[in-house]
Amino acid sequence: MRNLFVVVVTALLTAGAPPVHAAPAESRNSEVAEPKIRSNAALVLDQQSGEVLYGKNAQAIVPIASITKLMTAMVVLDANLDPGEKILITKADIDSLRGSPSRLRVGTVLTRDDLLRLALMASENRAASALARNYPGGADSFVRAMNLKAQRIGMNGSHFADATGLSSRNVSTAEDLAVLVRSAHAYPKIREYSTAISYSVSVGSKYHLDFFNTNRLVGSDSWDIGLSKTGFINEAGRCLVMQATLAGRAVIIVLLDSWGRLTRIGDANRIRKWLELASGRGHASASGAVAGAQRSVVLR
């Protein structure tokens, strides 16, 4: 069993979007049992009001795997680089840390925009690596930009070590990742690319490669997902963050350190059903249960 690295995070910056308030115990909805979330850290909040609907170890600092790629995408888009520029996949993009496979062979040439799509939708590590390499100043400058962006949006309990999420030194909290999701949701391309069901790229003139979303909930009739990102390395477990509209309410869902292939999906569906029951399927006014989220934080 892996350690969870629980660390108390200092209060986030107080300027910007409305604060996120943890519901006190006495306001919990007594008619609808809170969901039994199996992920080791979780957060559900109302995107508009900032109200925390559910929290579990939300201030624990943990590895976040490919959730990192949401920050990667924001840094790429903030740089206003040519989306049509052709970028070569090189040996430098091979995962030498974990040996993870990739369908993007060395020598493949794709546009920056295609690489961004694949990094977000299919969590392609070589795509993310190539994006960082082709940033002004190279990969080191890219990582510095990631951490600067994190500071600017109030992710004070987070640190980024690479663009892919393969390093376990990419760490954050459920609270910080809610900030990340909210910020990333403001980018139309991140919304579009992270929720695409599939995408096909042409590799030379000989063949096409079909890629698919790593989140099986995308495209489900039961879900209206506005942003999605999955992640997995051994140290992080299986992770999932989403922006979704449930029972007429825009919410942010963060699920970290799930163990088992379907645990994060099961947790997400339990949250959806819980909110639908609590709201009466259309009245997003029910108070949610909060476990382990005993203070207010700020989404900027």
Among 39, 56, 102, 123, the one annotated catalytic: 123
Judge whether 297 and 43 are in contact, CB under 8 Å: no
Tokens of 141: 């400058």
Of 39, 69, 168, 229, which is the active-site residue?
A: 69
Whether 66 is a known active-site residue: answer yes
8 A C-beta contact, residue 275 and residue 254: no
Q: How distant, in Å, are the alpha carbons of 174, 182, 238 from that of 215? A: 18, 18, 11
Round to whole Å and give the CA distance between 88 and 17: 39
Residue 286 near residue 53, CB atoms below 8 Å: no
Contact 189, 112 (CB under 8 A): no
Half-sphere exposure of 267 (CA within 13 A, CB side): 28
| E-strand stretches of 101-221 | 109-111, 171-172, 198-203, 207-212
In 3D space, the residue among 153, 131, 114, 140 whose CA is nearest the CA of residue 16 turns out to be 153
Q: Which token pair is 142?
A: 């890219």
The amino acid present at 15, given as its one-letter code, is A
How far apart, in Å, are the Cα atoms of 224 and each of 56, 242, 246? 24, 10, 7
From 66, 158, 168, 172, the catalytic residue: 66
Q: Is 149 a catalytic residue?
A: no
Minimal CA–CA distance to 131: which of 82, 76, 173, 85? Answer: 76
What's the sign of the alpha-carbon dihedral 15, 297, 44, 127? positive
Q: Decide the pairing of beta strands 198-203 and 207-212.
A: antiparallel
Catalytic (active site) residue 198? no
Q: Catalytic residues, which ones?
A: 66, 69, 123
